[in-house]
């Protein structure tokens, strides 16, 4: 009878150890998955930002040239475009916390914590 209890106890400890090891491995894989998804999202976002910046630069040059022809001075055309960017920059700076920073922080946190999706 003592051997059966010893066998059951050893078997129980072995199963508990296997369960803990499996649980630790699952947590590691879950963390790796969430980090990989977050990094992938950041990289794809950066690629889109680079493409948008190129588009915006070429559009700005085109608008500057067009306004330069309308105003009969290339300098005035490009200064007008630069002034518009200054206004947009001031507006974005005033509203950056509520419309840019907080949504990005919330999105990153939700992507890291929502490992099931």
More confident residue, 48 or 7: 48
Whole-angstrom Cα Rg for the chain: 29
- pTM equals 0.64
Ranges of H-type helices in the chain: 2-71, 74-96, 102-113
At a CB cut-off of 8 Å and minimum separation 6, what does 63 contact? Answer: 77, 81
DSSP 3-state of 115: coil
pLDDT at 6: 61
Work out the pLDDT band at 5, boundaries 50, 70, 90.
low
User: How many other CB atoms are there within 10 angstroms of residue 81's CB atom?
Assistant: 20
Report pLDDT digits (tens) over 38-97. Answer: 888 889 999 999 999 999 999 999 999 999 999 999 999 999 999 999 999 999 999 988
Work out the pLDDT band at 107, boundaries 50, 70, 90.
confident
pLDDT at 116: 45
């Amino acid at each position: 009878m003592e051997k059966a209890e010893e066998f059951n106890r050893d078997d129980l400890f072995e199963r508990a150890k296997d369960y803990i090891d499996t649980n630790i491995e699952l947590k590691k894989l879950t963390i790796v998955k969430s980090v990989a998804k977050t990094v992938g999202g950041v990289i794809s976002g950066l690629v889109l930002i680079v493409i948008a910046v190129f588009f915006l630069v070429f559009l700005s040059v085109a608008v500057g040239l067009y306004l330069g022809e309308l105003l009969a001075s290339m300098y005035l055309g490009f200064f007008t475009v630069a002034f518009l960017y200054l206004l947009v920059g001031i507006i974005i700076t005033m509203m950056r916390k509520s419309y840019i920073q907080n949504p990005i922080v919330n999105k990153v946190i939700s992507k890291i914590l929502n490992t099931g999706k």
